[in-house]
A and B are shown apart, each in its own frame.
Chain A
Amino acid sequence: MNTTSLEFAVVGLGILLLLAEAFIDRTNKDYLAYLGAAGLAIILVLSFLPLQGPATGSPDSAFLTSDILSVFFTRFLLVSTIVVLLMTPGYKPVLARYLPAEKEGAGVGEFTILPLFVCAGLMWMVSAIDFIMIFVALELATITLYVLSTYLRQNMASLEAGTKFLILGALSTGFFVYGITWIFGVTGTTNIVSLPQSISLLPESSTLPLLFGVALILVALSFKIGAFPFQFWVPDVYQGAPTPVTAYLSVASKAAGFVVLLRLLVALETVPVLAHKLYAVVTLLAGVTLIFGNLAAIPQTNMKRLLGYSSVAHAGYLLMGVASLGSLMAIPAIGLYFAAYLVMTLLSFVVLMVVAEATGGEEISRFNGLSQRSPLLAGAMLLAMASLAGIPFTAGFVGKFLIFEVALKQGHFGLVAIGCITVAAGFYYYFKVARAMYWQQATEETPIPVSMTIKLLIALLGAGILALGIYPGPVLAALR
């Protein structure tokens, strides 16, 4: 089976659902989410069949590859999209509140379907080995995400988030394109794989322009993954965007950015002049991102914003892994970290969505006394927070362990020292949520209703956290 067919299957699924949305006259659009999730699940299953990349020599082979990284992250993206789709039925009330709808359920369908196109874009992105393909796929995902972030048209926060995302995103696109231009101009190629070879033929004088181009690409990728000082959109957009979209942004979109960064670095690693400089820059980025993300998260009071800062913080840990690419274990470590990040972040967003809907707000104080109102939600959130903070026997711990292992192996002692401080800071702000849920008294005592779908999601994601935390072997094996 050819890898590209997976992406087309997702696109096809999206178009199919669009048609269904247009022609089936039902006010309840939940079926779209379930259909989409089921379709993606089938595609996920298909991805476990023996996969081949595009045949050598075919035009597609210049754009796409099918290596461990792409396969792993394709599945990763499918899983996160499934979760996000399953979240949407629970988000209906908010959509209804903020959309100028003529009748019930209007706009819900598109909200469910657009993520599929994002997913297709991101899937292309993680398999792409050519800057042109990366650019197109990235824009497919990003432009759709602009729409999704602004989706709550009558909610000021959502509009503001969308606008900020749009302008800063377009700015980063500009830099990305300019970077591609320079790399192409100097080397004559846009293909990442053939880049090292092209560079090796270049005269010495071309180094500076090449570095310029690479730097601009790094800027764009840093923006995508939310590394300091290009993280400014992250907290604002995360806070304002609809919760499922935030979840998606923080997991899937970030992962795709990292995959591109990894591909670029892996390719350029063989170029001595570049590799050294790139690692130095990535190391520095990792350090400042760690500090900013973790420390600025400390005083946060809004849960979604906190998760935004936490996402920056985790980008810092991931960058630490990227800075250690010299180690064989680095890519598995990053992959595992992402797997962990997926389950724990999505779990916290799922719980956040339910709690925010029930309490009418996203502040941490809304979680007060949750353990009395709903032990299930509180327990799930506690598990997610423990994992994010890196407590053993959760996925987050295994991820941190592997990342710090490779960082130490590569001798990044400064980063590790920063890591120690930031992990302690992380304990503080993640446990703030635990404090609200367990120490504080609830203002009202009524239990929070949880739908079957959400329960299922919580169970699956929770099990995922524990499974990854106790027995990460299979995931790690998939990355080697």
Chain B
Amino acid sequence: MSPLLLLILLPLAASLLIMIGANPRRTAIVAALLNLVLSVLLFARYDLHAGGWQFLSEWHVLPNLGINLSLGADGLSMTMLLLSTLVTLSALWVAPKIEKREGLYYVCLLFISAGVIGAFSTLDVLFLYSFHELALIPTFILIGVWGSGDRQAAAWKATIYLGGASFVLLIGIISLYLSLPSGMRTFDLRQLDHLALSGTFHPASWIYLLLLVGFGTLVSLFPFHSWAPPAYACAPTPAAMLHSGVLKKFGLYGLIRICLPLFPEAIQQFNALLVLMLIGNILYIGYVTVAQKRLDWTIGYSSVMHMGYIFLGLASLTVMGINGAALLMFAHGLSVAAAFALCGEIRRRTGTLDYSELGGLGKVTPVLGLLFGFAAMASVGLPGFANFAGEILVFFGATVSSIYGPLMVVAIIIGVWGVVVSAIYMLRAYRHIFWGPIAQRWESLTDIAPTAKWSVILLLVPLMIAGFYPQIILNMVGTILPR
């Protein structure tokens, strides 16, 4: 059995066991732990010198349509798989005690996990898409049943928006497939890359636009972002972690995987558009974030804003920029998951995330405050966390490509300014929640529980390792790019 298939099947098997009646929490965590161990092993076993796709396996589904369930991983997928398993374990671990329908809760989470793992480990574009969609219904249920705030509206919006967008994406994928000469049609990434390299394959540039809109919406590219903040704000903690930390990266992964190699000209052609949109992400969303009055919305919008940096890296079309973008994907996944985990912990204690009601919690929950400080600083892009390395690389990449036009220069300036903006809202959040005088009613709060603490540390440690020595990730990611 292929190790990657095992990686996909473990969460599914666990959810099956839960449906049959196994202890939900224990089963889920064991499966996630096994998955993490497995993915770390695979990460370590990946042969950097050989590069390329490894751990390959293939099952025929519709061979004459060129659809096969082929699994395989290169450095980028390995990185994303590691991210997925890390966040999955952390999310399951940090999940609070569920009173009603505990099984369904964990089944939904495991399905999301299986979906993202599948998406990151398949070589077939159609399965890439399909696995991602596996998360749609579980998210709908999770937000609707266990969410907070205006959860129903948020769940509806996210579901319809993402459903519609991914259908646009599907249309794009089919168009891409159809633009291959008949007889050579395939969904296999390897063959697509090969055809593109050999110059026999020139998909029309409007297909790129479809893919950009489709993938872009999943990543909350401005102006297709408005589903994300309410969904994250209202989702139960583990769902928000998985969704913003991992699932969202799928869109970026798709852009790197599919669009970069196949649409070299179209990307150039529409780069100005992309740059304009990402400026919207950084500057406009940045300031929207500044105006937020609740922590969950702040983090939700901040995760939208940070996508702008990853897009900047992609738009730079340079080795540095794309490396930076990939590193940032990994880093942002971990940091935003940690932030949401802690956000959930705060909410569980206080029942509110309104800045005007909170304050001074640092005194009664020092460890929570410390960990949140780490997460906030990571999000701000402080050196020592991988986010910083990613951003730096993105800036260097963008600088290289800035010789092509003044728009990129504007984007860089705004991007660097965005670092200031992100500091504004993150420090504001920290200031309002943990610092300042403490209100009487918060005096008796308890500090973070060990499970939550360790699940956040589980996210922060790799983040710092990658921050101190980003080359670990860059070496892996670099296998998809020419040096």
Residues of B within 8 A of A184 (CB): none
The answer to whether B62 and A476 touch across the interface, beta carbons within 8 angstroms, is yes
Beyond known contacts A393-B133, A397-B130, A476-B62: 17 more, CB 8 A cutoff: A371-B101, A371-B104, A372-B100, A391-B136, A391-B137, A393-B130, A397-B133, A404-B171, A405-B174, A409-B178, A416-B171, A427-B159, A427-B163, A431-B160, A434-B141, A438-B141, A472-B62
Contact of B171 among A392, A420, A435, A471 (CB under 8 A): A420
A424 within 8 A of B: yes
CA distance A420 to B61 in the complex (A): 26
Question: Shortest Cβ distance from A447 into chain B, in angstroms?
Answer: 14
User: B134 an interface residue at 8 Å Cβ cutoff?
Assistant: yes
| Residues 20-67 (chain B) with a chain A CB within 8 angstroms | 60-62
The answer, yes or no, to whether B366 is at the interface (CB within 8 Å) is: no
Give Cα distance in the complex from A390 to B141, angstroms.
17
> How far is the CB of A440 from the nearest CB of chain B, in Å?
9
- Assess whether B130 is in contact with A439, with CB atoms less than 8 Å apart: no
- A382–B137 alpha-carbon span in the complex (Å): 9
B137 touching A404, Cβ below 8 Å:
no
Chain A residues within 8 Å of B, Cβ to Cβ: 371-372, 375, 382, 386, 389-393, 397, 401, 404-405, 408-409, 416, 419-421, 423-424, 427-428, 431, 434-435, 438-439, 470-473, 476
A405 adjacent to B144 (CB under 8 Å): no
* A420 touching B164 in the complex, CB below 8 Å, given contacts A438-B141, A439-B152, A472-B62: yes
Pick from A392, A424, A428, A473: contact of B131, CB under 8 Å: A392
- For B101, what are the chain A residues with a Cβ–Cβ distance below 8 Å? 371-372
* Residues on B with beta carbons closer than 8 Å to the beta carbon of A393: 130, 133-134
A36 to chain B, nearest CB (A): 34
Task: Tell me whether B167 is interfacial, beta carbon within 8 Å.
Answer: yes
Asked whether B260 is an interface residue with its Cβ less than 8 Å from the other chain, the reply is no
- The answer to whether A434 and B168 touch across the interface, beta carbons within 8 angstroms, is no
Taking a contact as CB atoms closer than 8 A, the residue among B61, B145, B152, B156 that contacts A471 in the complex is B61
Set of chain A residues within 8 Å of B156, measured between Cβ atoms: 428, 431
- Given known contacts A434-B137, A434-B140, A408 and B163 CB-to-CB distance under 8 angstroms: no
Assess the A401–B174 pair: CB atoms within 8 A.
yes
B222 within 8 Å of A by Cβ?
Answer: no
Distance of B114 from chain A, by nearest CB (Å): 11
* B284 → chain A closest CB, angstroms: 25
In terms of DSSP, what is the predominant structure of the interface of chain B? helix
Minimum CB–CB distance from B16 to chain A (whole Å) comes to 12
Q: Is B309 an interface residue when CB atoms closer than 8 A count as contact?
A: no
Q: Which residues of B contact A404 (CB under 8 A)?
A: 170-171, 174
Q: Which residues of B contact A416 (CB under 8 A)?
A: 171
Instruction: Tell me if B163 and A424 are in contact (CB < 8 A).
Output: yes
B129 at the interface (CB under 8 A from A): yes
With a cutoff of 8 Å between Cβ atoms, the chain B residues found around residue A390 in the complex are 167
Structural contact, A423 and B140, CB atoms closer than 8 A? no
Nearest 7 A/B pairs, CB to CB? A392-B130, A424-B164, A427-B163, A439-B144, A392-B133, A423-B167, A438-B141
Say whether A420 contacts B168, CB under 8 Å.
Answer: yes
Query: B residues engaging A (CB < 8 A)?
Result: 19, 60-62, 100-101, 104, 126, 129-131, 133-134, 136-137, 140-141, 144-145, 152, 156, 159-160, 163-164, 167-168, 170-171, 174-175, 177-178
Chain A CB within 10 Å — which of B131, B137, B160 has the most? Answer: B137
Q: Report the Cα distance A390→B133, complex, angstroms.
A: 10
Once the chains bind, are B140 and A431 in contact (CB under 8 Å)?
yes
**CB-based contact A386/B61 at 8 Å:** no
Distance in angstroms from A290 CB to nearest chain B CB is: 13
Query: Which of A386, A427, A435, A473 is B164 in contact with, Cβ under 8 Å?
Result: A427
With known contacts A392-B133, A472-B62, A424–B160 Cβ distance under 8 A: yes
A residues near B126, Cβ cutoff 8 Å: 401
Q: How far is the CA of A457 from the CA of B136 in the complex (A)?
A: 26
| Cβ 8 A contact of B167, one of A375, A424, A431, A438 | A424
Q: Which residue of A lies closest to B133 (CB)?
A: A392
Interchain CA distance A465-B170 in the complex, whole Å: 20
Are B178 and A401 in contact (CB-based, < 8 A)?
no
Complex-state Cα separation, A424 to B159, whole angstroms: 9
A401 and B167 contacting across the interface, CB-CB below 8 Å: no
- Report the nearest B residue to A390, measured CB to CB: B167
Q: How far is the CA of A434 from the CA of B104 in the complex (A)?
A: 13
A438: B residues at CB distance < 8 A: 104, 141, 144-145
Contact partners of A382 in chain B: CB under 8 A = 137
Q: Which residues of A contact B174 (CB under 8 A)?
A: 401, 404-405, 408
Partner of A431, one of B62, B133, B159, B175: B159
Q: Is the CB of B137 within 8 A of A423?
A: no
Given known A393-B134, A434-B137, A438-B144, contact A405–B177 (CB-CB < 8 A): yes
Residue of B whose beta carbon sits closest to that of A427: B163
| A423:B163 contact, CB within 8 angstroms | yes
Chain B residues with Cβ under 8 A from A391's Cβ? 133-134, 136-137
B163 touches A389 (CB 8 A): yes
Q: How far is the CA of A409 from the CA of B126 in the complex (A)?
A: 17
Q: Which residues of A lie under 8 Å from residue B100 when comparing CB positions?
A: 372
A375 / chain B contacts, CB cutoff of 8 Å: 19, 104
Whole-angstrom CA separation of A104 from B174 in the bound complex: 56
A147 vs B419: C-alpha distance when bound (angstroms): 73
Q: List 9 interface pairs A-B (beta carbons < 8 Å), by A numbering.
A: A392-B131, A393-B130, A393-B134, A420-B171, A423-B163, A427-B164, A428-B160, A435-B152, A439-B144
- Please, which residues of chain B bring their CB within 8 A of the CB of A431? 140, 156, 159-160
Q: How far is the CA of A231 from the CA of B236 in the complex (A)?
A: 43
Give the docked Cα–Cα distance between A409 and B131 (Å).
Answer: 24
Determine the chain A residues whose CB is within 8 A of the CB of B171 once the complex forms.
404, 408, 416, 419-420
Distance, CA A438 to CA B137, complexed state (A): 11
